Amino acid sequence: MASLYVLLALSQAEAETTQGSTAILITVDQSGKGDYEKIQDAIDAVPSNNVDLVFIRVKPGVYKEKITVPADKPFITISGTRAVDTIITWNDSGDIFESATFSVLASDFIGRYLTIQNTYGSGGKAVALRASGDRAAFYVCRILSYQDTLLDDTGRHYYNNCYIEGATDFICGNGASFFEKCHLHSITNGGGAITAQRRMSPSEDTGFFFFGCKITGVKTAVLGRPWGVYSRVIFAFTYMPNIILPQGWNDWGNSADQLSSVYYGQYKCSGPGAVTSKRVDWSRVLTSEEAAPFITKDSIDGKAWIRAAPTSFKKKAFPPKN
């Protein structure tokens, strides 16, 4: 019964959204007591062009799988019960789009209480999570790698109470993403960038917006560097320790003309690393009016699509286990 209560419990963030509804329940259990023993098999069982809410409950275990949620399978939730007990792991490097342990290509996806990791280490691009679908949300997940940990590629995304660890550009891509109460941990040997946002045009409504987050690290780091000439990153109400270098940001070799279109800002951050007196002159200390568009989930139109956990479940016949 305890696990059922965990499944039905709503996080505070989820409770703020629209009420949950009934979902089809699929159970993944490595012991063979569920519907499937592998997470990918459970995803594969969901029909193409799915229109139902599907809740894939993953029992504790270490799942050595390279997982893809295809674009034609929306409305899937994959949930553990505790992130430290439900670990999805792979070891791959190379192309930034192909190396990911876990790739979300579908819209309306939710990940909950999962550890997603790429154990490749230093020396190459090694993505743990690739988020390339629209309207994806992640709650209390641990996302771990070294370089390019979270490829927040494209679409609107919401991260709540997630732990994200890496060294080089470890939150990167061109998503429109709101990070609420997340913990960002830098493991760089010194000077590595936390973000590399790739907005390429002023017409793109994208950017990384951090609200009420916490930064930690083992050595020095910068808040970000511009992958795109219109790169946009905002930190608000975020704790920054003294590992953040006084300049705050790295220019990545861009010219002064290119940097003039970058939009990097802070608003009411705290900690010794949040001091702005020595920041690069192309970053900003935002006023309340300037910060307002970026410090709520409205920045990603969240009220229209962030949904609560389902309140009831039903079973449905799916293809048998292999």
Determine which one of 35, 152, 153, 169 is catalytic.
169
For the question of residue 148 being annotated catalytic, the response is: yes
Residue 29 among the catalytic residues: no
User: Secondary structure of the chain in the HEC alphabet?
Assistant: CHHHHHHHCCCHHHHCCECCCEEEEEEECCCCCCCECCHHHHHHHCCCCCCCCEEEEECCEEEECCEEECCCCCCEEEECCCHHHEEEEECCCCCCCCCCCEEECCCCEEEECCEEEECCCCCCCCCCEEECCCCEEEECCEEECCECCEEECCCEEEEECCEEEECECCEEECCEEEEECCEEEECCCCCEEEEEECCCCCCCCCEEEEECCEEEECCCEEEECCCCCCCEEEEECCECCCCECCCCECCCCCCHHHHCCCEEEEECCECHHHCCCCCCCCEEECCHHHHHHHCCHHHHCHHHCCECCCCEEECCCCCCCC
Of the candidates 35, 148, 152, 153, the residue annotated as catalytic is: 148
Active site residues: 148, 169
